[in-house]
Structure 1
Amino acid sequence: MSGQADLSRITLHVTGMTCAACAARIEKAVGKMDGVAEVSVNVALERAVVLLDAKRARTEQIEARIAQLGFGVRLLNSDDGKSDANSGEEIRRSRAMFLLSLAFTLPFFWAMIPHHAASSSPWVPELLANPWFQLALAVPVQFGFGLPFYIRAYEALKNGSANMDVLIVLGTSTAFFYSHYLLFHPGQVMMGSGHHSPYYFDTSTMIITIVWLGRWIEASARKRTADSLSQLYAMQTDTACMLTPDGERQVPVDTLKEGDLLRVRPGERVPLDGIVAQGTSAVDESLITGESMPVKKRKGDRVIGGTLNSSGVLEIRVLRTTGQSTIARMIRMVEEAQNAKAPIQRVADKIAAVFVPAIAVTAVCTFLYWYGLGEPGAAGGALEKAIAVLLIACPCALGLATPVSILVASGRAAQKGIVYMEGAALERLHQTDILLFDKTGTVTFGAPKVTDVIAAEGETQATLLSKLAGAEQLSEHPLSRAVVDEAERRGLRVPDCGSFLAVPGCGVRAEVHGRGIVAGTRRWLEEQGIPFAETERAAGPLRSQGKQLIYVAVDGRPAGVVALADTVRPTAAPALRQLKKQGMDIRLVTGDHAAAAKAVAERLGNVRYYADMLPDQKLGLVRRLQSQGKRVTMVGDGINDAPALAAADIGVAVGNGTDVAKAAADVHLLKSDLKAMADAVRISRKTMANIHQNMALSFCYNALAIPAALSGHLAPWMACTAMALSSLTVIINALRLKRV
């Protein structure tokens, strides 16, 4: 980690990439530059992420190198994502190029009708069959609309690599220049096998037109995959209502500082993370945490930037500025996960790197075979089959198989409040053998709550809890706060407290409405001559469950016992049952004593548990399980969980856990509902299945199509159409993940 301390991370928007070979070419060229530690290029996102030593390499040098390769490039700033995610420039350009190219290609389609008509042929103007007229139509298509392919192919070959553009240029140029040669040397005209004409101007124009159609469809489909990220960007507000000594003032959110006071009215989005300083309202956090119901907020509660204020007016004190807000960090993490390559993607990249040269050689061999043996001397037919091989085998679908699936899945996960820090975490999570859950704050609420009230004779639960709350209201102890909160939750009146004395480690002594209240440990009260033998028979089972007990006496007489515990979250048990069904071995890890751990483990379905575990012992447990060949995922929220989170195969930070825990984790659950953990595993499994489907589709497509092209059963324009459809199939299959 120390080696990367001095590295800077830049994100570049790269246009003009068409397949995995383009990404590999950029990575190879930029990776060789002095000062570049790491580079990752994502075709689906059109992003390049570069880690560089700012002392040895500058951003301008990186941009210049990518531009030399023939790609458009610009630096992405933190504010660029919103416009970039919604950009339709590529769609508009591809559509315009397709429509213009189609206008020049339609006459060729008309001229082909008689050769495919079953009976009577429709009328076709003689002009359309004139080779000089066909040349006039083909030139603007080949060298106008096809110029971008020539430029990118030249840049690729100049840098010692080949991509899809090389295949397109080879195929179309061969058809065009062969036809051009025959046009000026009529004595060399030879009919190709099954072809209606010795000229192939129609082949070159149709290929370029179909490629532009494929680019248009693909750009439109890829834009749909960015919808989830666009929703996150849309949650960021540009202005906020700031409260100043002179009154309200609308200010840009970027100018706000920590501690500024904001007013948020019903129907408005919370501009930034903060704490409620005044007011009560229900806030819709569904797009951030996945919580379906609005969450009630009152003074002292935290609110998340980007959430929607549903009812009352809130005054909020800013906690985090724009770049550090939850929504900004969430967007950053999602983008990083989408940019980072999963290990399976690197396999596809290696295949794509050798695929294009191999296909070029195969096309040459195809021509030689058909010209020499298959149809001796039929140069036209041999050429047609070689062109089909060139076009059918482009690895576009293979290059898109992984990044498009990860792009859609990580966006969908973000909608559910799940952020994968990198693509590798998305790939590995479902492979977990043992799932370790921290107890306090993860499986439980992390704060004590009243669970039982045992009232002695002459008291009721309500009167006992009311008196105890009156006595405890001046104490800052967590147990005291839990008692007061429970009384308020039940709608009980909390009486005023007169004299008050807190005895550390023992309890409190107070006067409430003239009655002397003593509350604390049983030993302390019995030392003062207050017996609890009868009450203990009812309280004993509660102690065995690991609950903490407050014994209460009123005017020197036993009044009852109040039990408190860190209660299990209501969604924890169902979530863990779901994870068990997914094949996970669930275990509980806690620093609490065995009785408390056992009680929680029983509530969760008698899962295996480890009690009295210090941070180093949690770390040792993870390593011990890993040494047994197990893949371990650790789920926690505290500083004491950080070592285990970092050591585990996958670390998962939950809810509003500490920054240390989040930094050590590979996955971040934005809410403390453990159903999100089950969702995270399910999305991981579905995503990997989707990627494998995409790769299988790509390989099956080539396995079926290449032999068809080699045997002469696939015309070049059909091969080009099939190539575009294969990429579209992969994208459509990936989009199914939006429904996970």
Structure 2
Amino acid sequence: MATNHQNTIKKTFPVLGMSCASCAISAESIVKPIDGVIDASVNFATATLAVEYLPNKTNPSVLQKAVQSIGYDLLIENEATQQETLEAIHEKNFHLLKQKTIWAILLSLPVVAIGMFAMNIPYANEIMWFFTSPVVLWFGKDFFINAWKQTKHRSANMDTLVALSTGIAYLFSVFNMLFTDFWHQRGLHAHVYFEAASVVIAFILLGKLLEEKAKGNTSSAIKKLMGLQPKTVVLILPDGQQKEIAIEEVHVGDTILVKPGEKIAVDGIVLSGNSYVDESMLSGEPIPVLKTTNEKVFAGTINQKGSFQFKALKVGKETMLAQIIKMVQDAQGSKAPVQKLVDKIAGIFVPIVIGIALLTFILWLLLGGNNGIVHGLLAAVTVLVIACPCALGLATPTAIMVGVGKAAEQGILIKDAESLELAKKINAVVLDKTGTITEGKPKVTAIKWLNEDTLAKQILLSIEKQSEHPLAEAVVNYFTDIKDIQLLSFESITGKGAKATYADESYFVGNKKLMADNNISIDDELQQQSDQWSQQSQTVIWFANSKKNLAVIAISDKIKETSLAAIEQLKAMDVEIYMLTGDNETTAKAIAEQTGIEHYKAEVLPQHKADFIKELQSQGKIVAMVGDGINDSTALATADVSIAMGKGSDIAMDVAKMTLISSDLMKIPQAIKLSRQTVATIKQNLFWAFIYNVIGIPIAAGILYPINGFLLNPMLAGAAMALSSVSVVSNSLRLKWKK
């Protein structure tokens, strides 16, 4: 295993042919030791291998050969064709499985009828053998082939259990049919159990068919998102002519025409025309958004009545839709912390079950009297049939898949299963002010000058043009009739403002702390005006030269309509709310009072936000940080659950584990509720998976026989096993319809 991870490649490959959680463990354990593999994780529910490897030491072909050696396969095609190939394979496999299941059931029906009601008809055993053989040896042959491949690698999975149980029942019945005298000479009746072998195969195939259908429904969110991309677009050529081309042929800079009712193909910016666009599948917001010149449009959104032309800015894998699909796929394929424990159990589950089956046979042989060998074999077969690890393997990942998919449909992007599981424990939420509680569209409402002159305005505009702070943009937008000038120098001072030089004089734009740090005297008249604006919850910026203040600027950023309701909901959920802002004390207090936030800190520098989160964590709190700017990235990385605003900076979204596409705070209580529902579903699934085996295995072994003479029929065990997997997946699907 390599330790230098600098030049590694991370990829996700579909795994074909897995039938249970133990299969996932087997595939994972065969890939992990390969030289050059840093980390590997196989998810049974999504049937994917997420692997990080060193390209100079290994490659996808090596990984594929390793996985093929134990009976599975790896799809290593490029991502563009992978999905289509995968769907075609799944469609073919589902059709084949359906045919196998139908034939297995049809051939098993006469076997059950004879075995249960007509054992004494002539040639009964031979007729049952005739119908059972194709079920076990043809429709069930994959179980035996895969079990043998596992055995060669000293491993075992569900196929091993099915092959052992049906194989023993079939061979034992064939022996009893051919050598009836062997038992008669010992005073016993030569029972045959062809119906057990054939029906178990039929039920397991039916269970797998239902499971495949149900698992297909868990990833419906991905299919919906993928269906949002049109196959073709109308390209506007340089001469003004229109040409229909495939979406793959679109390049950055191309001009594309969008007609009424059409889906937007790639991300871009409107050049001409205007229309309302339905962005609900990306943002979860039902109200269409008006798009005019210079407005951004996104792939997958639906144009309403108007038509417009836009320039392509992001195409292919770079579009927001493509990134959302990738993020949702990665999240659905990631493992929740609870899954790690389940994986360990699944890894030793099959060998333990085989051990219990052997012990059951031995105990029946020693204590079962005349029929000990027959009852022992039947009980061992029933133990092997009923103890399928499928339900255990599906319990967590199916719930995660549905939870992540549902979140995506509501405009909440979740990066990994861990943050979805952890969100339910959040008891402290730290909110940034600008762009999080407020709209993040600050506007200059007033400027008070001591001595107003054009040069001062030009210097102020020139400084703010070079600043990256969102408040600087408000000042730039205010001075539309002034031209900027060439500064001699410019320096950004984090958390305070900016300093610049023009004509041998220094100028400062920023907060009051910047003024104090540079010993600039505060004018009484400007101070009075500043206090008045601050009490009205407006942000105040000071402008000065090296000697005195020149002006004070009031900037207002409207509180979002939903912020108040979201904060009230979080408080009702016993979550403490904290607001951190670089703004002054008076403005921060006014915003806190308007939104009902009891805990707030003003004049906080970006590096101190992370320290504040650590302080809350040291008090035992599970902290969620919600921010939108570059200055929030350290705090986001420090928090237990990090939430970025979709309309914020790319860096914030890269760092955060969750992204609220619409930047609506109401999505936070929604995410916490969804986390609680998902974790509750996981617990229910695990309870049923465990309790099923805890109760089922002892009954299958014959624990009730001494009490009331009850011995579980292998056929019923097969039906119960199929039902357990389907019930777990169905319980996960219930998440879709919960509010």
TM-score band, normalised by shorter chain: 0.7 to 0.9
Question: What do the CA deviations read for 1:238-297 (whole angstroms, capped 9, x no partner)?
Answer: 221111123111122222222211111110011111111111111001111001111111
Matched, 1:365 2:359: yes
Output one character per residue of 1:527-577: Cα deviation in whole Å (capped at 9) or x when no partner.
xxxxx99x9999975442332589xxxxxxxxxx99751111111111121
Maintained 8 Å contact 2:578/2:597: no
Question: Distance between the aligned counterparts of 2:554 and 2:713, measured in 1?
Answer: 81
CA distance in 2, matches of 1:502, 1:138: 89
Rate the CA distance shift 1:387–1:142 in 2: closer, same or farther, 3 A: same
Alignment of 1:424-503 (within 5 A): 424-449=418-443, 478-479=473-474
SS of the equivalent of 1:612 reads: coil
Instruction: Assess if the C-alpha contact under 8 Å between 1:336 and 1:421 holds in 2.
Output: yes
1:63-86 CA-to-partner distances (Å, cap 9, x unmatched) read 011011101321253223366468
The answer for the alignment partner of 1:47 in structure 2 is: 48
Instruction: Name the counterpart of 1:231.
Output: 224
**Aligned equivalent of 2:198:** 205
Q: Is the 8 A contact 2:646 2:653 kept in 1?
A: no
Name structure 2 gaps, 5 residues minimum.
Answer: 448-460, 466-471, 488-496, 498-523, 542-551, 703-709
1:274 aligns with 2:268: yes
Task: Look up the equivalent residue of 1:595 and give its one-letter code.
Answer: T
CA spacing shift, 1:418–1:81, aligned 2, 3 Å? farther
Q: CA deviation at 1:501?
A: 8.2
1:609 Cα deviation after fit: 0.9
- Cα distance between partner residues in 2 of 1:631 and 1:191: 73
2:75 alignment partner, SS class: strand
Q: 1:148 to 1:191 in 2, by over 3 A?
A: farther
Of 706, 721, 724, which residue of structure 2 is paired with 1:723? 721
Summarize the Cα distance change of 1:196–1:679 in structure 2 as closer, same or farther, 3 Å threshold: farther
Is 1:375–1:382's contact at 8 Å kept on the other side of the alignment? Answer: no
Q: Secondary structure at the match of 1:568?
A: coil
Match of 1:64 in 2: 65
Paired position in structure 1 for 2:93: 90
- CA deviation string 1:435-454 (max 9, x = no partner): 1111111111112248899x
The one-letter code matched in structure 1 to 2:56 is: K
Preserved CA contact (<8 Å) 2:577 2:597: no
Q: Contact 1:192–1:379 (CA<8 Å) still a contact in 2?
A: no
Deviation string 1:72-112 (CA, Å, 9 cap, x unpaired) is 32125322336646843332121111111122212112214
CA distance in 2, matches of 1:372, 1:299: 86
Q: Given residue 204 of structure 2, which amino acid in structure 1 is its aligned partner? A: V
| Structure 1 residues 335-350: aligned runs within 5 Å | 335-350=329-344
Q: Distance in 2 between matches of 1:394 and 1:404?
A: 17
Quick one: which of 153, 168, 173 aligns to 2:162? 168
CA distance, structure 2, for counterparts of residue 31 and residue 216 of structure 1: 30
* Counterparts of 2:273 and 2:3, CA distance in 1: 46
Q: What does residue 520 of structure 2 align with?
A: none
Note the alpha carbon deviations across 1:441-492, whole angstroms, 9 max, x for none: 1111112248899xxxxxxxxxxxxxxxxxx9xx9985578779xxxxxxxx
Question: Is the CA contact 2:180–2:190 (under 8 Å) kept in the aligned structure 1?
Answer: no
User: CA shift at 1:5, angstroms?
Assistant: 2.9
**Distance in 1 (alpha carbons) for counterparts of 2:246 and 2:716:** 54
Query: Structure 2 vs 1, CA of residues 500 and 17 (structure 1 numbering), >3 Å: closer, same or farther?
Result: closer
Is residue 2:325 matched to residue 1:331?
yes
> More deviation in 638-647 or 656-665?
656-665
What fraction of aligned residue pairs are identical, expressed as a percent?
A: 34
Match of 1:81 in 2: 83
How far did residue 682 of structure 1 move? 1.3
Q: Which residue of 1 aligns with 2:291?
A: 297
* TM-score (norm: length of structure 1): 0.84
Would the aligned equivalents of 1:40 and 1:339 in 2 still touch at CA under 8 Å? no
Letter matched to residue 182 of structure 2:
Q
For the residue of structure 2 that corresponds to 1:245, the secondary structure is coil
Is the 1:11–1:75 Cα contact (8 Å) retained in structure 2? no
The whole-number CA distance in structure 1 between the counterparts of 2:317 and 2:387 is 45
Q: Specify the SS of the correspondent of 1:241.
A: strand
In 2, the alpha carbon distance for the partners of 1:669 and 1:85 equals: 30
Q: Once the 2 structures are TM-superposed, how far is the Cα of residue 703 of structure 1 from its aligned partner?
A: 2.0
Partner SS, residue 588 of structure 1: strand
Per-residue CA deviations over 1:121-161 (Å, capped at 9, x if unaligned) read: xxx9935x522222222221111111100111111121121
1:190–1:380 Cα contact (<8 Å) kept: no
Q: Paired residue for 1:106?
A: 109
In structure 2, the CA distance between the partners of 1:605 and 1:391, relative to structure 1 (3 Å rule), is same
Report the secondary structure of 1:371's partner residue. helix
Partner Cα distance (2:592, 2:129) in 1: 80
Deviation at 1:617, TM superposition (A): 0.9
Cα contact 1:637–1:657 (8 A) shared by 2: yes
1:82 and 1:230 in contact (8 A); partners too: no
Q: Which amino acid aligns with 1:215?
A: K
> C-alpha deviations, 1:345-365, integer Å up to 9, x for none?
011111111111111111111
**Residues 1:593 and 2:593 aligned together:** no
Question: After alignment, is 225-234 or 433-442 more displaced?
Answer: 433-442
1:554 corresponding residue in structure 2: none
SS of match in other structure, 1:4: coil
Aligned-partner residue type, residue 660 of structure 1: I
Per the alignment, residue 553 of structure 1 pairs with: none
Local SS of the residue matching 2:96:
helix
Aligned residue runs from structure 1 range 689-708, under 5 A: 689-708=680-699
Answer with 74-83 or 276-285: which moved more: 74-83
Q: Does 1:419 align with 2:428?
A: no
SS in 1 for 2:440: strand
Give the Cα–Cα distance (whole angstroms) in 1 for the partners of residues 446 and 15 of structure 2. Answer: 62
Aligned equivalents of 1:47, 1:110: Cα separation in 2 = 42
Does 2:277 align with 1:283?
A: yes
CA RMSD of aligned residues (A): 3.1
Structure 1 CA distance, aligned partners of 2:711 and 2:536? 76
Q: Which residue of 2 aligns with 1:126?
A: 121
Aligned residues of 1:370 and 1:376 also touching (Cα < 8 A): no
Partners of 2:294 and 2:26 lie apart in 1 by 53
Distance in 1, matches of 2:376 and 2:302, equals 65
User: Counterpart in 2 of 1:389?
Assistant: 383
Identify the residue that residue 487 of structure 1 maps to in structure 2. Answer: none
Distance in structure 1 (CA, Å) of the matches to 2:161 and 2:695: 19
**3-state SS of 1:33 partner:** coil
Task: Compute the displacement of 1:378 (Å).
Answer: 3.7
Separation (CA, whole Å) in 2 of partners of 1:694 and 1:706: 18
1:140 aligns with 2:140: no
* Equivalent-residue separation in structure 2 for 1:343 and 1:502 (angstroms): 55
> Matches of 2:539 and 2:330 in 1, distance apart?
45
> Residue 210 of structure 2 contacts residue 726 of structure 2 at CA under 8 Å; is this kept in 1?
yes
Does the Cα contact within 8 Å between 2:383 and 2:697 map onto a contact in 1? Answer: yes
Post-superposition offset of 1:656? 2.1
Q: CA deviation at 1:207?
A: 0.7
Instruction: State the partner residue of 2:562.
Output: 571
Q: CA deviation at 1:629?
A: 2.7
CA pair 500-161 structure 1, distance change in 2 beyond 3 A: closer
Contact 2:443 2:475 in 1 (8 A): no
What is the letter of the counterpart of residue 57 of structure 2?
Answer: R
| 214, 222, 233: which one aligns with 1:240 | 233
Distance 1:301 1:190 in 2: 89
For residues 488-511 of structure 1, give each alpha carbon's deviation from its aligned partner in whole angstroms, at most 9, with x where no partner exists. Answer: xxxxxxxxx9x9789999xxxxxx
Map of 2:641 onto structure 1: 650
Are 1:400 and 2:402 counterparts? no
CA displacement at 1:584 relative to structure 2: 1.5
Matched, 1:583 2:543: no
The residue number in structure 2 matching 1:12 is 13
Amino acid at match of 2:225: L
Residues 207 and 500 from structure 1, CA distance in 2 versus in 1: closer, same or farther, beyond 3 angstroms? Answer: closer
Correspondence for 1:632 among 619, 623, 635: 623
1:49 corresponds to which letter in structure 2?
A
Take 1:62 and 1:300, find their aligned partners in 2: how far apart are those partners?
Answer: 47
Number of paired residues? 661
Show CA shifts across 1:1-52 (max 9, x none): 9943311122222121111111011111100100011111111111111111
SS of equivalent residue, structure 1 residue 587: strand
Whether 1:410 and 2:412 are equivalent positions in the alignment is no
Contact preservation (8 Å) 1:82, 1:233:
no
Shift of 1:732: 0.3
In 1: Cα distance, 2:128 partner to 2:676 partner: 53
Distance 1:105 1:196 in 2: 23
